[in-house]
């Protein structure tokens, strides 16, 4: 029964991320300014480095992985290649509730 609850939790997390992710569009437009391309490349490298640090570093140093992730997110917005479409309050509420309930189910196996 706990395994089924954990699987349902993972599905709920994925569903919540999917519905919130529908409103984020990444473009590949070429810009005349050279630094925007550098910011886009830097954002991808920073995000990859942050995820690798979170996964592979020992437990004491895992928190250092959040710094490159934050830098990567900031660089995405500096490169102007991420467009955030408006989200309705109901869609945000359902997506966030789905992720929260899914996380609780996936980690604890119960609500």
- Helix, strand, or coil here: 24? strand
Give me the pLDDT at residue 64, please. Answer: 92
For the stretch 37-83, pLDDT in tens is 566 677 878 888 988 888 888 888 888 989 998 998 888 777 666 66
What does the mean pLDDT of the chain come to? Answer: 81
| C-alpha–C-alpha distance, residues 24 and 27, integer Å | 10
86: pLDDT strictly greater than 70: yes
Lowest mean pLDDT among 35-39, 85-89, 99-103: 35-39
Average pLDDT for 84-101: 85
110: pLDDT strictly greater than 80: no
Predicted TM-score (pTM) of the model is 0.57
Q: Which of 43, 36, 100, 41 is nearest to 70 (CA)?
A: 43
Q: Among residues of the chain, what percentage have pLDDT more than 70?
A: 81
- Helix, strand, or coil here: 50? helix
96: pLDDT strictly greater than 60: yes
């Amino acid at each position: 029964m706990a395994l089924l609850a954990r699987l349902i939790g993972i599905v709920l997390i994925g569903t919540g991320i999917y519905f919130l992710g529908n409103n984020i569009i990444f473009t590949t437009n070429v810009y005349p300014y050279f630094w925007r391309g550098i910011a886009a490349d830097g954002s991808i490298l920073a995000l990859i480095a942050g995820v690798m640090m979170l996964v592979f570093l020992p437990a004491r140093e895992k928190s250092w992985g959040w710094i490159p992730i934050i830098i990567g997110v900031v660089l995405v917005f500096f490169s102007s290649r991420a467009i955030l479409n408006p989200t309705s309050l109901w869609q945000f509420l359902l997506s966030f509730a789905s992720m929260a309930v899914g996380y609780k189910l996936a980690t604890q196996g119960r609500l």
